[in-house]
Structure 1
Amino acid sequence: MSGPRRIVCLTEEPTEVLYALGEQARIVGISGFTVRPPAARREKPKVSAFTSAKIDEILALKPDFVVGFSDIQADIAAALIKQGVEVWISNHRSVEGILDYVLRLGALVGVPEKAAAYAGSLRAGLDALAEQAARLPRRPKVYFEEWDEPLISGIQWVAELIRIAGGDDILPELAAEPMARNRIMADGSRVIARDPDIIFGSWCGKKFRPEKVAARPGWAGIAAVRDRQLFEIKSPIILQPGPAALTDGVAALAAHIRAWAEA
């Protein structure tokens, strides 16, 4: 075995990728938020949340490589680096970034060929979905909501997956903002004005409540509310920048978009 042998994954996506590559034996610790694959929760110790981690427990695992995601985990990374641990924090925000992430992670752990094959299969799935979507008779305007208090719209890879699935995100200017704080809306006026045909909610681990959305002041006239086109997409399959979003997440979006387009 070449490359690191004792890997701690601070978020779900490296765990899912390494399992998909058949390299799960390298993983010695995972995030407590990991749900994919289910085997990981049974087999691996949970040593981190998203904004916090059990540094002493991670060090006790004697990792030779730790993988995390985003500036939000900068403090965790710094604490581990000060203890001499090698840490890689990715910060990708797009569909192409996710595919490139698979390639880079595979290369870093010494299995670039496996990673290239896996990334190729993920891309082929997206291409096939895009071809199906191109044949739909019409395209819906879509609003994706990550959080409700305050209102936070969808991130870049979600907007891109909506487009691949056959819809058009109504807030592309916000999707381009990598930080959630820059996608906060003071009120729903922009959503009301752009009148989405479908509303997707993925409230980051909290159950989406369509009736609460429909009851917001001024939202009754929105096409999606009027036609009852409000749907939950579970956050584990859409809000992590890894394989789940490119498979189950985009498939869930596409199923609802197809049903609307063909109605």
Structure 2
Amino acid sequence: MATLAEAPTQGEGLRVVSLLPSATEMLALLGCNVVGRSHECDYPPAVRDSAPALTGAFNRFESSAQMHDAVTASLQAGKGLYYLNTDVLRQVRPDVIVTQSLCSVCAVDYSIVQEAIAALDSPPRLLDTNPMSLQAVIADLKRLGAELGRAAAGEAAAAALTARVDAAVATAQRLAAEAPGGAAKKRVVFLEWTVPLFPGGHWTPQMIEMAGGLCPINPPKPGGGAAPSREADPSEVVAADPDLIIIAPCGLDLPTTRREMAALAEQAWWRELRAVKAGHVALVDGNQHFNRPGPRLVEALEWLVGLLAGRPDLMPADFPWEWM
């Protein structure tokens, strides 16, 4: 089976627009004909380079604090964070648009998409994806395949991802059983924003525990995902007393994440954390991993297993991360 980066995207079939990076990755894996995308859909390169962008952001990122303030002000004023280019939408003539209604911060607002397609002569079908757990992400892949005439591809891709998830969990359990003296599980704090602090939600705490760790802030519900990410006071991180901290800011690449760590390093509470003193702070490209509920979450799970076990040999090659 083709890898995600190699998957064909311009074959025969329905003309599909994706307004969500995670959906774009799913559609590429299914071999769908993606004719339009969001401005944030940068992977795989084949889709990024061949399909025009239909959306854009009103706010430009300067720093974590500045972007948080800008987003908060926009939402309080009832303004959207993104715009949709309806002229380009008409030009690409989609049969289907894939988007989400879960988070107005993550993608163009669902109501804007509804209004835009209502004005078209031949309104496309709208598919909504809102997974809350890793299992739901894989189920969405099968559902999209069935909805878009790629059912066999969806079943095959979902089976392959499920097999990798099962293997990763089995490896984590085996390593825990082999640990001398039954070593305690590592307490992990995962931050998907730094100023202010936003601990990970939905599928991320679940993945941490599947990989053999504990997630003391916003823990997962039994058998599923956790509550959405929310703003947290530094006292919560201090009280969690983490063995390991993972920083993967939503939408930021690794160099930007590295730069944004300066604001945290200035905080006395941060410098006194046990994990910080021990050098156990991992930085991850959050634009590519963890924050997109798509196929590469499985790669992130495999990386977590290696990180928590102290086994770099188990981590996927070229996974974008580094120690702080």
Distance 1:62 1:10, change over 3 A: same
Please report how far the alpha carbon of residue 254 of structure 1 lies from its aligned counterpart in structure 2 after TM superposition.
Answer: 2.6
- Name the one with the larger helix percent: 1
Please report how far the alpha carbon of residue 22 of structure 1 lies from its aligned counterpart in structure 2 after TM superposition.
Answer: 2.3
Runs of 4+ in structure 1 off by over 4 angstroms are none
Contact 2:189 2:240 in 1 (8 A): no
User: Aligned AA for 2:135?
Assistant: E
Instruction: Give the match for residue 228 of structure 1.
Output: 279
1:114 aligns with 2:121: no
Q: Give the number of aligned pairs.
A: 253
The C-alpha deviation readout for 1:154-205, integer Å capped at 9, x for no partner, is 0121111111222111213587323x4xx111x2001101101111111123
The C-alpha deviation readout for 1:69-102, integer Å capped at 9, x for no partner, is 2342312322233223321121112111101100
Distance 1:245 1:77, change over 3 A: same
Distance 1:87 1:80, change over 3 A: farther
Identify unmatched segments of 5+ residues in structure 1.
none
Instruction: Give the match for residue 123 of structure 1.
Output: 162
Contact 1:55 1:79 in 2 (8 A): no
| Residues in 2 aligned to 1:202 and 1:231: alpha-carbon distance in whole angstroms | 9
User: Aligned AA for 2:29?
Assistant: A
| Residues in 1 aligned to 2:190 and 2:44: alpha-carbon distance in whole angstroms | 25
| Residues in 2 aligned to 1:211 and 1:5: alpha-carbon distance in whole angstroms | 47
Instruction: Give the match for residue 89 of structure 2.
Output: 58
The C-alpha deviation readout for 1:138-169, integer Å capped at 9, x for no partner, is 42110010111211110121111111222111
Structure 1 counterpart SS, 2:83 = coil
Instruction: Give the match for residue 264 of structure 2.
Output: 213
Structure 2 counterpart SS, 1:228 = coil
| Residues in 1 aligned to 2:48 and 2:215: alpha-carbon distance in whole angstroms | 34
Please report how far the alpha carbon of residue 116 of structure 1 lies from its aligned counterpart in structure 2 after TM superposition.
Answer: 1.0
User: Aligned AA for 1:111?
Assistant: R
Instruction: Give the match for residue 203 of structure 1.
Output: 249
1:176 aligns with 2:176: no
Please report how far the alpha carbon of residue 212 of structure 1 lies from its aligned counterpart in structure 2 after TM superposition.
Answer: 4.0
| Residues in 2 aligned to 1:67 and 1:227: alpha-carbon distance in whole angstroms | 44
**Which of 41, 52, 59 in structure 2 is aligned with 1:45?**
52
**Alpha-carbon RMSD:** 2.3
Distance 1:31 1:212, change over 3 A: same
**Which of 240, 244, 268 in structure 2 is aligned with 1:194?**
240
User: Aligned AA for 1:21?
Assistant: L
| Residues in 1 aligned to 2:90 and 2:250: alpha-carbon distance in whole angstroms | 29
1:1-263 to 2 correspondence within 5 Å? 5-23=14-32, 26-49=33-56, 51-71=82-102, 72=104, 73-83=109-119, 84-134=123-173, 135-136=175-176, 137=179, 138=183, 139-173=185-219, 176-178=226-228, 180=229, 183-185=230-232, 187-206=233-252, 207-209=256-258, 210=261, 212-235=263-286, 236-247=288-299, 249-259=300-310
User: Aligned AA for 2:163?
Assistant: A
Higher relative contact order (CA 8 A, sep 6+): 1
Q: TM-score, normalised by structure 2?
A: 0.72
